[in-house]
Amino acid sequence: MKLSNYFPAFKGIIDSTLREGLQFRYADFSKSQSKQILTMLSAIGVDKAEVGNPVNREVSLLIRNLLEIENRPPLLAHIRNRVEDAAAAMESRVEGINIFCTVDEARIDRLGLTFDQYLRELEKIITLSKKANLEIRVSVENFFNSNLSLALRVYQLADRSDCDRIGIADTLGMALSWDVEKSVGLLKKNFRPDIEVHFHNDLGQAVSNALVALRAGASWVDTTLLGIGERSGITALSTLLVSLYVYGIIPDSKYRMQLLTEAENNLAGILGKDVPFNLLTNRSNGFSHKAGVHLHGLINFGPQSYELLPPKMIGNERHLVSGTMVSGKTTKREIEDFKKKNP
Ligand code: HCA
Ligand code: CU
C-alpha cells in the first residue's frame, strides 16, 4: 500500500473509551474492566488515552490503578477550566491534561465570571500545569455552534502559553465536512499547537469528519472502542484505523489492527451488548457477502473485488451466504472450494 502525501499532519490517536466511553448510557466499568480496556488499547498501540476528571475521588482512585499498567500510553485527565481540577490532575500523576472550555457567555456568567476572568483562570491552570511538566490540550466544546471570536481568544491564549494541542469539539455531532475543512484550516493557519479533533456521530459523520480534519491539518483524533460515548457516540477506533490504512495515511504496521475485532467484541461483552451490525468488527456480518453478483465476483475475481481489506487484517472473518432469494446460482460446493483457497 502506497502512503498518501495528503495527510502530513497526522500524529496519532487519543482514545477516550475510559472517559467519553464511560458517558455511554450502558457503560459502567469496574476497576478490573477499566484495566482490561486500557490493556487492550495499549496492545493496539493507541498513542494516548484520555481518562475522566480526577477531581472526582472515584476517578482519581481508578487512575492510580491504570497508571500501573505496563507499556500503557500516556494518560490524559479530562478536566474543566478550574484550578481545583488541575490540582487534582497534578496530584493524580497523569502525564497530561485535556482542558475543555466553553465560550457560551450564559454558562460563564453562571460561574460568576466574565469572559476575561474565565481566560485568566485558564492561564493560571496552564502556568501551574506547565510547571508540573504536564502535557496540555485546550479545547472549545460545541465549537461549531459557538461564538468564533471568543473561541479564537481561547486558542490565542493556548498558543501564547505554549500548549501542546488545541482542540475542536463537535459536541452536538452537527458539523459537515465543509465546516470541518474551513475551521481546521483556520486554526492551522493562525496557531502553532497541534490540532486535536473530537467528533460526535449524531449525523453519522464522525469518521468522515475526522478524515477531513486530518487532511485539513489536524494531527490528533479522539476515538473510542465501538465509538461509544454520549448519545450516538464519537469516531469509532476500528473504523478510523481501517480508514487510515485504506487511504494510505498509515502503514499497516503502525497499529496492531489485528486486535481490533477482539477488542471491540470484548468491550461489547463488558457492556452486555452486541457489536453493532454495521461495524467492520461485527463477527457475523462485518464481512458477509450475500448477493449473487458479489458471491460470483469474490469467487471468480478474488476477495478484493468486494472487500476494502482482508478481514484477517483486523482479526475478523468473512462469511459467504448462499441459498437465499438474492444469492444467485452460487452453490455450496463453490463456496467450500473458495474457502479452501482463501482461508
Ligand atoms: C462532553 C464534553 C466533550 C469534550 C470534548 C473535548 C464534548 O460533552 O461530554 O474535551 O474536546 O463532546 O464536547 O466530550
Ligand atoms: Cu464528546
From first to last of its 343 residues, what are the pLDDT tens digits of the chain?
678 888 899 999 999 999 999 999 999 999 999 999 999 999 999 999 999 999 999 999 999 999 999 999 999 999 999 999 999 999 999 999 999 999 999 999 999 999 999 999 999 999 999 999 999 999 999 999 999 999 999 999 999 999 999 999 999 999 999 999 999 999 999 999 999 999 999 999 999 999 999 999 999 999 999 999 999 999 999 999 999 999 999 999 999 999 999 999 999 999 999 999 999 999 999 999 999 999 999 999 999 999 999 999 999 999 999 999 999 999 999 999 999 999 8
Residue 259, domain CATH: 3.20.20.70
Tell me how far the alpha carbon of residue 143 lies from the centroid of ligand 2, in angstroms.
Answer: 11
Enumerate residues lining ligand 1, CB below 6 A. 20, 23, 78, 98, 100, 139, 141, 167, 169, 171, 198, 200, 230
Measured from the Cβ of residue 33, the count of other Cβ atoms closer than 10 Å reads: 17
Judgement on whether residues 247 and 123 belong to the same structural domain of the protein: yes
Task: Specify if 277 maps to a domain.
Answer: no
- Minimal CA–CA distance to 313: which of 237, 252, 226, 224? 252
What pLDDT is attached to residue 1? 67
In terms of Cβ atoms closer than 10 Å to its own Cβ (0-12, 13-18, 19+), residue 298 is buried
Q: Please give the single-letter amino acid code of residue 23.
A: Q
User: Residue 167 and residue 187: Cα distance in Å, rounded?
Assistant: 10
- In the chain, how many domains are there? 2
Task: Specify if 281 maps to a domain.
Answer: no
Quick check: is 296 catalytic? no
Judgement on whether residues 25 and 143 belong to the same structural domain of the protein: yes
Judgement on whether residues 254 and 302 belong to the same structural domain of the protein: no
Classified as helix, coil or strand, 91 is helix
Judgement on whether residues 121 and 241 belong to the same structural domain of the protein: yes
Judgement on whether residues 259 and 296 belong to the same structural domain of the protein: no
By residue range, what is the domain housing residue 37?
A: 4-271
Ligand 1 nearest atom to the CA of residue 99, by list position: 10
Q: Name, in order, each residue with C-beta under 8 angstroms of 278's C-beta and a sequence gap of 6 or more.
A: 285
Judgement on whether residues 178 and 324 belong to the same structural domain of the protein: no
Judgement on whether residues 97 and 170 belong to the same structural domain of the protein: yes
Task: Specify if 282 maps to a domain.
Answer: no
Task: Specify if 276 maps to a domain.
Answer: no
Task: Specify if 279 maps to a domain.
Answer: no
| CA pseudo-torsion sign 183, 203, 215, 157 | positive
Residue of 78, 200, 294, 296 with catalytic role: 294
Task: Specify if 294 maps to a domain.
Answer: yes
User: Residue 134 and residue 121: Cα distance in Å, rounded?
Assistant: 17
Judgement on whether residues 264 and 296 belong to the same structural domain of the protein: no
Cell numbers of 94, please?
497523569
